[in-house]
């Protein structure tokens, strides 16, 4: 699906964006809002934004102050997995 937005030239110039930059920024803002709202999973967000790795998505989320929940149960599971690996 393709979406077209009309942004007046003077506003685009004031925002210091080119057409491509503005399109990417709009996509990222919309996708991030949908992710925060629980409408997209991390895997779907990564696919939508074209990130090849989970690490790229992590960096993007951190740059936008979005941190995934990490519970005590997650920590216990990670510690157990590391112990099983001998680490």
pLDDT in tens, 68-86: 777 899 889 999 999 999 9
Contact indicator for 25, 60 with CB cutoff of 8 Å = no
User: For the chain, what is the domain count?
Assistant: 1
In whole angstroms, give the CA distance from residue 34 to residue 66: 12
Is residue 1 included in any domain, yes or no?
no
Domain that holds residue 34: 9-84
pLDDT in tens, 6-48: 878 888 788 776 666 788 888 999 999 999 999 999 999 999 9
Of residues 74, 32, 34, 70, the one with CA closest to residue 51 = 32
Is residue 38 included in any domain, yes or no?
yes
Q: What's this model's pTM, rounded to 2 decimal places?
A: 0.70
């Amino acid at each position: 699906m393709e979406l077209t937005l009309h942004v007046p030239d003077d506003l685009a110039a004031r925002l210091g964006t080119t057409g491509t930059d503005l399109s990417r920024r709009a996509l990222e803002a919309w996708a991030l809002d949908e992710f925060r709202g629980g409408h997209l999973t991390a895997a779907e967000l990564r696919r939508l934004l074209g990130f090849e790795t989970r690490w790229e998505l992590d960096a993007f989320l951190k740059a936008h102050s979005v941190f995934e929940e990490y519970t005590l149960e997650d920590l216990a599971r990670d510690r157990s997995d590391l112990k099983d690996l001998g680490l």
